[in-house]
Structure 1
Amino acid sequence: MASNTSSENIKVTNMVNDCLIMEIRNIKDPRGTIAVIEKEVIPFDAKRVYYLYDVPSDATRGGHAHKELYQFLIAISGSFDVILHDGTNPKKVTLNKPNKGLLIKPGIWRELENFSSGAVCLVIASEVFKEDDYIRDFEKFKLFKSR
């Protein structure tokens, strides 16, 4: 198997406490509120944006980690829990405010669960979809983290 790709050499030392809740700037007036996500809000260039909706309350999304990808998750509407794991430590973060987002760094396992009715999860990602960036098996993830 050839290839000594950058994903084989990346820093995998990110821990759950390196995943940060970040404030999103709001502009309020009598007509409503605008939330603004500009370059200074997230520490990466956005290359993909997608959202999850109509997720049943008993469903789980995610169930993977990324080798290189950064993600910024926002509960645009409703709420959901994000279960983070760094191979050793779990951490649960509840997202329920559209003016706060969760920065998930590479090398962190994530699962999304407990979606409220009408919840919408917006995801801003640092890269386009690349299947080889995913680790979809938790045991393989733990091996990846132990390198």
Structure 2
Amino acid sequence: MHNSINDKMIIEIPKISDPRGNLAVIEKDCIPYAIKRVYYLYDVPSDAFRGGHAHKEQQEFLIALSGSFEVVLNDGKSKQRVMLNKPNKGLLIPTGIWRELDNFSSGAVCLVLASGEFDENDYIRDYQDYLNFYV
């Protein structure tokens, strides 16, 4: 049995507010794994999409640091679209979920905190292979 799109989680990132602005903090148990890799997407054209893969082992936590974008989650049976547009809320994507990111606004920045270092063998990049692997 693999994860479903219902296993995704929107997590509110603790923030400290004062007249100088807000400070968001990710530490300790904010997300359920140790962060092994950090990367970010930016200058993505509004008509482009990113992602188009699933991970066998790795989990990812996505945050819209600036602007907005949508994440289409697919578990092979159901699809769900999630809008990310607040830098103090992130989307936890469990293993085994196909994801695509689209509808990037101008100036959008997507920060990804991953549970593993890059490993090409952890990726399923072909949707039919994904369906054969999980469904």
- Class of the TM-score when normalised by the shorter of the 2 chains: over 0.9
1:13 CA drift (Å):
1.4
1:39 CA drift (Å):
2.1
Q: State how far apart, in whole Å, the 2-side matches of 1:115 and 1:71 are.
A: 19
SS in 2 for 1:132: helix
Q: Which runs of 5+ in 2 are unaligned?
A: none
1:143 CA drift (Å):
1.0
User: Are 2:109 and 1:89 equivalent residues in the alignment?
Assistant: no
SS in 1 for 2:44: coil
What RMSD, in angstroms, separates the aligned Cα atoms of the two structures? 0.7
**Residue type matched to 2:46 in 1?**
S
Q: State how far apart, in whole Å, the 2-side matches of 1:124 and 1:53 are.
A: 15
Q: How high is the sequence identity, in percent, across the aligned residues?
A: 65
Match of 1:106 in 2: 95
Could you list the per-position Cα deviations for residues 111-136 of structure 1 after superposition, in whole angstroms to 9, with x for gaps in the alignment? 00000000000000000000000000
Q: State how far apart, in whole Å, the 2-side matches of 1:98 and 1:111 are.
A: 19
User: Are 2:104 and 1:129 equivalent residues in the alignment?
Assistant: no
1:67 CA drift (Å):
0.1
Aligned residues: 135
Alignment of 1:47-126 (within 5 A): 47-126=36-115
**Residue type matched to 1:79 in 2?**
S
Match of 1:145 in 2: 134
SS in 2 for 1:116: coil
Q: State how far apart, in whole Å, the 1-side matches of 2:28 and 2:83 are.
A: 24
SS in 1 for 2:76: coil
What TM-score comes out, normalization by structure 1 length?
A: 0.90
Q: Which runs of 5+ in 1 are unaligned?
A: 1-11
SS in 2 for 1:64: strand
What TM-score comes out, normalization by structure 2 length?
A: 0.98
Alignment of 1:32-47 (within 5 A): 32-47=21-36
Following TM superposition, where does structure 1 have runs of at least 4 consecutive aligned residues deviating by more than 2 angstroms? Answer: none
SS in 1 for 2:106: coil
User: Are 2:23 and 1:13 equivalent residues in the alignment?
Assistant: no
1:101 CA drift (Å):
0.2
